[in-house]
């Protein structure tokens, strides 16, 4: 299942981050801000527990998050969204997965993986600005499930029907949260209209 976050503040920031005139400094800031908004929604069903706290006047019944949260950026572009989640949930743990596409098989290959043990029993948040073909996202979820994870959500800024369909086919239990569901992939597997190469725009490495 995919859920588009249609909040006016998200859509306003999305318009700016898409703009080709937006430089890498502002692009990074916007990626952080948009990620925070999307994560509010992505964590709406996270497990909580009842607690009682003492205010200056009386005891108050409250709720606190009752699960470990593990953020898993897909390298490299996913790093650009990490601060947004850690601003929202500073106690979250962080895992990493690095993937590249084999030029012969066209399949994603894991070159780096490091997950905290809390993926078992916790809630994992896979982050990547662009969910395009879905290959890297499916591979990251595969690796998490092989490590024992059973509660996973995906947070991205922009996706498209092709990527959503691939993730849903492989992992129907995983919900995708995005600021935009764009039209399609082009022949080079870029999302259209998209926002270009997110990694290059985040880190200022485009020519």
Task: Assess whether 150 carries a catalytic annotation.
Answer: no
Q: Percentage of the chain with pLDDT > 70?
A: 98
Summary mean pLDDT of the chain? 93
| Catalytic-labelled residue, pool 91, 104, 105, 187 | 105
Tokens matching residue 31: 């990626």
Range of the domain at 53: 2-203
| Catalytic-labelled residue, pool 26, 101, 120, 166 | 101
Predicted local confidence at residue 108, as pLDDT: 82
Rounded to an integer, what distance in angstroms lies between the CA atom of residue 75 and that of residue 5? 24
CATH at residue 95: 3.40.50.2020
Task: Assess whether 55 carries a catalytic annotation.
Answer: no
Count how many domains the chain has.
Answer: 1
CA 19 to chain CA centroid, Å, is 21
Predicted local confidence at residue 120, as pLDDT: 96
- DSSP secondary structure string, 91-123? T-EE-EEEEEE-TTT--EEEEEEE--GGGTTSE
Reported as a single tens digit per residue, the pLDDT across 25-80 is 999 999 999 999 999 999 999 999 999 999 999 999 999 999 999 999 999 899 99
- Mean pLDDT, residues 158-185: 96
Task: Assess whether 4 carries a catalytic annotation.
Answer: no
Reported as a single tens digit per residue, the pLDDT across 138-151 is 999 999 999 999 99
Task: Assess whether 201 carries a catalytic annotation.
Answer: no
Predicted local confidence at residue 181, as pLDDT: 97
Predicted local confidence at residue 206, as pLDDT: 67
- Mean pLDDT, residues 106-128: 92
- Mean pLDDT, residues 89-93: 95
């Amino acid at each position: 299942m995919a859920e588009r976050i249609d909040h006016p503040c998200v859509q306003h920031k999305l318009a700016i981050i898409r703009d080709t005139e937006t430089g890498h400094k502002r692009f990074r800031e916007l990626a952080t801000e948009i990620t925070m908004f999307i994560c509010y929604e992505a964590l709406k069903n996270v497990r909580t527990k009842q607690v009682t706290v003492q205010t200056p006047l009386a005891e108050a019944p409250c709720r606190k998050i009752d699960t470990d949260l593990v953020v898993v950026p897909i390298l490299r572009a996913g790093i650009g969204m990490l601060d947004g989640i850690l601003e929202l949930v500073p106690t979250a743990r962080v895992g990493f997965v690095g993937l590249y596409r084999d030029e012969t098989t066209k399949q994603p290959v894991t070159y780096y993986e490091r997950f905290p043990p809390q993926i078992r029993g916790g809630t994992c948040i896979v982050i990547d600005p662009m969910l395009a073909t879905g290959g890297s996202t499916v591979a990251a979820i595969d690796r998490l499930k092989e490590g024992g994870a059973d509660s996973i959500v995906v947070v991205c800024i922009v996706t498209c029907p092709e990527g959503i369909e691939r993730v849903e086919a492989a992992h129907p239990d995983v919900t995708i949260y995005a600021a935009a569901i764009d039209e399609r992939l082009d022949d080079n597997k870029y999302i259209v209209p998209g926002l270009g190469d997110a990694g290059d725009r985040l880190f200022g490495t485009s020519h």
